[in-house]
Amino acid sequence: MEKLIKTGLILSGGGAKGAYHVGVVKALAEYGIQADAIAGASIGALNGSLLAASHSMQQGYEHLNRVWQTLSQQSPLKFQSKNLFVPQYLVLLASFGLRLNITNILPFIAYRSVKGLLKQFDIYPEFLKKLEDQLGSRNSVLDNSPLTALIDEYLNWQDLQRGTPLYVSVYKSNGGLIDLMGCIAAMLDMKDTAPSEFFCLQQFSEQDWKNALMASAALPLLYESQKIGDNSFTDGGQGGWKTVQGNTPITPLVEAGCNLVIVSHLSDGSLWDRHNFPDTTVVEIRPQKEISRDGAKDLLAFDSSRINEWIEQGYTDTIACIGKIKEALDNRSHLKSIMQEQQKAEKVMLSSSERMHEIMTKIRK
């Protein structure tokens, strides 16, 4: 018989606040709640990969906790260049959800635009060349090698292949600067961003899966985009900005048949609306108290005090929601029992009908 209850888990993006997910998973494990499929965006995709490769929710918590304790001692953020001329605001783009400081951004956008225009007309003054040398020639500010090393150390492709289906949110890139300007336009309510796309990580080859995972967290200009097939992809949290479509990737779970979805948010007052999915039972784990501690700096707060504080908050908030989750599971279990009993009764009736038909056939003969 087809399984009636299929539970999905969504881990949204939010930089260092992703430590909150560790507490969420800890609470779910304690209550014996398992996920049949997982979807994540940005840091949620990275957390989701560790959970998906684990044999159980409890083991997933243990893996996540070990990784985040490591991150609390050694930040994964590494500059491509140590030069102080690197625009500092770009580091504050470490995650979806930050309200950008337009005043600080405009000079950099103007600089990149003028540079592009001058290059187009084959004009490139010597002082710009020197400035480029100071800033570094790369198209991203941060080096992704620490994240790559983290994945290599803690993720095993074979375990992931045998594990829980994992869907990651990615955004088809038109170039870092254009992507960034699109997000700014969406924040100013001028135009929404295009929807994010979703990839099932287990459907990639052993050579390509890491690119898909890294793409989900590759925020434009901050990290290098990742090539998948003929296209380049960046941070999935950018997609469908106004409805948080990419940062809360429920669509692939619904399409995969999940009828109960647990959503872990990493922002205060997320605009995502569960009522847009009326045919799915959605239980949201929203921060019960303000999750932001120090504004934009939270996104980079890879230190032990902040990380452990967020883990504890995720655990406490999930415990407060467990009643709703258990109620949804119990209601569906009750419905499953009723349907099973009904199917048994139908089989008995069918069997009786077939026997009666055989008897009547013999009598007629």
> Judging by DSSP bridges, how do beta strands 37-41 and 231-235 pair with one another?
unpaired
Residue from 12, 42, 54, 270 carrying the catalytic annotation: 42
Task: Identify the three-state secondary structure at position 22.
Answer: helix
Q: Report whether 237 contacts 42 (CB < 8 A).
A: yes
Q: State the catalytic residue, choosing from 169, 173, 196, 235.
A: 235
Quote the strand ranges of the chain, DSSP E. Answer: 7-11, 37-41, 166-172, 197-200, 226-228, 231-235, 260-264, 281-285
Residue pair 280/71 in contact (Cβ under 8 Å)? The answer is no
Specify burial of residue 336 (Cβ count, 10 A radius: 0-12, 13-18, 19+).
middle
Kindly provide the residue ranges of all beta strands, DSSP E only, lying in 47-154, ordered along the sequence. Answer: none
- Look up tokens 């590494």; give the residue: 78
121 by Cβ neighbours in 10 Å (0-12 / 13-18 / 19+) ranks as exposed
Q: Largest Cα–Cα distance of the chain, in whole Å?
A: 106
Write the DSSP symbol of residue 57: H
Examine the residue annotation and report whether 42 is marked as an active-site residue of this protein.
Answer: yes
Q: Indicate if 270 belongs to the active site.
A: no
CA–CA dist 165, 258 (Å, integer): 12
**Token output for 287:** 């921060």
Is 123 in a helix, a strand, or coil? Answer: coil
Instruction: Please name the helix (run of DSSP H) or strand (run of DSSP E) that holds residue 14, with its range, or none.
Output: none
> Would you please indicate which residues are annotated as catalytic (active-site) residues?
42, 235
